[in-house]
Amino acid sequence: MLGFAGHGRATSRMPPVECADQAAPPILSLEGVTKRFKAGRQWVEILKGVELVVRRGQVVALVGPSGVGKSTLFHIIAGLLEADAGAAEFQGMVLPLKATHQGRQAMSLVFQDPYSALSPHLSVVDTILEPLRIKGHKENLYDRVRQVLAAVNLAPAESYVNRYPGQLSGGQRQRVAIARAIVTEPALLLADEPTSMLDASAGIGILNLLRGLAEGGTAVLITVHDLASACYVADHLAILETGEIVEEGAPQAILAHPVRPITRSLMAAARSFCTANSELEL
Ligand SMILES: Nc1ncnc2c1ncn2[C@@H]1O[C@H](COP(=O)(O)OP(=O)(O)OP(=O)(O)O)[C@@H](O)[C@H]1O
Ligand SMILES: [Mg+2]
């Protein structure tokens, strides 16, 4: 069994470990994505040339400790932040890495923080209907709302549709945010730490939902801190360390032969958590 081997500096990116799903067509490709932020008087490079491919029907988990730039990368992909350098393609078209909605009609983002993600002035039904209305849909809207609320385990729909975000728990808000993101049936769903506000069983429910979406053909890119959730849900792991993807591949292949110290550290953390829990009498 491999244990934690201490942090070392990655000198170069590891080649991805190929697996069967790698044959599916890419829906999103990123090349050399770079982003700097000003910290006081200095510029700090948060993303240092990220390369990543997400394929149709795949769940890709971007895994890494806090502060490595996971949300920053998601905000760039979703067009909320401009990258300093890099190139991207989405559905075979050039995706401008600028703060723009252009080219992003077929993607949805679930924000990490469900408290700021929902407008306090919109009821649950209006929150979920908003993206459909923007796209000009007019028919069977309430049936669709009921369907997506059931999919995120908020049932019966009548108990939730007229509530405002202030009348929901953090976990319920996160599920409404996910319902809103999937209501338009996006080709790519970006889910930034979608289970961090949920209890364990609700979290597993959301991971199963994301897997189900992928099996229906949606591409899902998810960020998580913990390797156990990543391995549960993903076909492909990408380990992000200080702004670079340093190791990637199928979960089984990475767990069998972790190369980077950061990967071994994430494995050791997941293993300690599982061992501690297995000692509890449940
Ligand atoms: N607008 C900003 N201005 C300056 N620094 C920023 C800004 N946004 C993020 N940062 C910094 O960039 C780094 C990466 O932040 P980011 O939110 O992407 O991390 P993360 O990997 O998502 O972390 P977590 O797992 O805690 O959500 C952090 O050090 C953060 O402080
Ligand atoms: Mg984050």
- Ligand 1, atom 24: closest residue by C-alpha: 66
- pLDDT of 263 over the 60 cut: yes
Q: Could you tell which of 71, 193, 266 is best to mutate to test the pocket of ligand 1, judged by most ligand atoms within 8 Å of the CB?
A: 71
The predicted-structure confidence for 189-238, as pLDDT tens digits, reads as follows 999 999 887 888 888 888 998 999 999 899 999 999 889 999 999 999 99
Q: Is the separation of the CB atoms in 198 and 154 below 8 Å?
A: no
- pLDDT of 20 over the 80 cut: no
Q: Is the separation of the CB atoms in 169 and 151 below 8 Å?
A: no
At 275 the pLDDT is 64
- Centre of ligand 1 from the C-alpha of residue 37, in Å: 9
- Ligand 1, atom 1: closest residue by C-alpha: 37
Domain range list for the chain: 22-105+188-195+209-282, 107-185
- Centre of ligand 1 from the C-alpha of residue 59, in Å: 23
Which atom of ligand 1 is nearest to 112's Cα? 27
Shortest-distance ligand to the CA of residue 75: 1
Lowest mean pLDDT among 7-16, 48-57, 76-85: 7-16
Q: Is the separation of the CB atoms in 76 and 33 below 8 Å?
A: yes
At 274 the pLDDT is 62
- Centre of ligand 1 from the C-alpha of residue 192, in Å: 13
Q: Could you tell which of 45, 47, 70, 72 is best to mutate to test the pocket of ligand 1, judged by most ligand atoms within 8 Å of the CB?
A: 72
- Tell me if 55 CB under 6 Å of ligand 1: no
The predicted-structure confidence for 36-45, as pLDDT tens digits, reads as follows 999 999 999 9
Q: Is the separation of the CB atoms in 229 and 238 below 8 Å?
A: no
Lowest mean pLDDT among 168-177, 193-202, 270-279: 270-279
At 16 the pLDDT is 47
At 1 the pLDDT is 31
- Tell me if 112 CB under 6 Å of ligand 1: yes
Lowest mean pLDDT among 136-145, 176-185, 189-198, 220-229: 136-145
Nearest to 149 by CA among 117, 127, 122, 116: 127
- Tell me if 113 CB under 6 Å of ligand 1: no
Distance, in Å, from the CA atom of 96 to the CA atom of 249, rounded to the nearest integer, reads 27
* CATH annotation of 22-105+188-195+209-282: 3.40.50.300
- Tell me if 42 CB under 6 Å of ligand 1: no
Per-residue CA distances from 71 to 29, 46, 74, 121 (Å): 17, 11, 5, 25
